[in-house]
Amino acid sequence: MKHLFLIVLAFVATLLNAQNSATVQPKIMVMPYVTEGNDIRQAIETDSNIRIVLSKIREAFDERGFTTIDFETKLKSQSSNNALSNNAQTNLSAMVIQGSGADIYVETEYIYTPSANGNSVKVLMKACDVSTGGSLANKDAFSGQFYTEDIGRLAGAAVEKVADDFLNVIQTKFDDIVENGRSIILDIKVDDTASLTLHQEVNGEELVDQIEDWVAEASYKNNYHIQGGTELEMIFDDIRIPLQDANGRNYNISQFDREIRQFFRKLGIQVSHVTKSNTLVITIK
């Protein structure tokens, strides 16, 4: 009986370990690429081919077992929000990304090239982390030349050639995020009008040392790297932050920004802050 109990215990432990080591797949949203200042709604509404290309990419991802989020549905939901201001409308793309529930978004554009030797389509795909905007993977797919004007068919042929490689890179990068956290950049500067420097003592200890101690505690698994610094600036070129906080809620650069500002507030130091993509700039006033 004792031996049977040990066998069952070992089996349960093995099962739990297998579950813990199971691959966590990201949720992916495929969306069109538009240049800054252009209306993403107009791009997708006026060009039926871009909708077809997006659909072909989603189909390829779905067939390989990935969970995809419908960009058009999210776009319509966000656009129908009557509370949106004119300024918010211009940032619609960013709002859709942040409200999508996706882990990764894939910006896509296509280039159709007619030719006497056969028509072709090139599909350009760029995968980015939703939380930080950091690039995870890039891939250009070429359909080859065929005597057809069916852009959807050409795009499908192009995507099929690279889908496995593209998704493998995305999965590898996402696995690293799950294991080691997301990478952000923190740039701390001292304003020209500030009355202190990073090497001055605050509450009996140099400010630069207090900042590094705080970052060491705040970073995921204490994983961070300092690129360099002076008495007026210090740059952390790689700080890892977790996917979720201690309560299981999504954690991103905005939460990290709020926490470091609270740290400076406790020291009685006034700062300004700017975030762009995966970079946070803190300026001491």
- pLDDT tens per residue, range 258-282: 999 999 999 999 999 999 878 999 9
Torsion, Cα of 79, 83, 88, 92 (10° steps): -20
- pLDDT tens per residue, range 181-200: 999 999 999 999 999 999 99
- pLDDT tens per residue, range 9-43: 444 444 344 334 457 889 999 999 988 777 888 88
Residues 138-149, mean pLDDT to the nearest whole number: 96
Residue 39, SS3? Answer: coil
- What's the pLDDT at 244? 86
- pLDDT tens per residue, range 109-134: 999 999 999 999 999 999 999 988 88
CB 131 within 8 A of CB 28: no
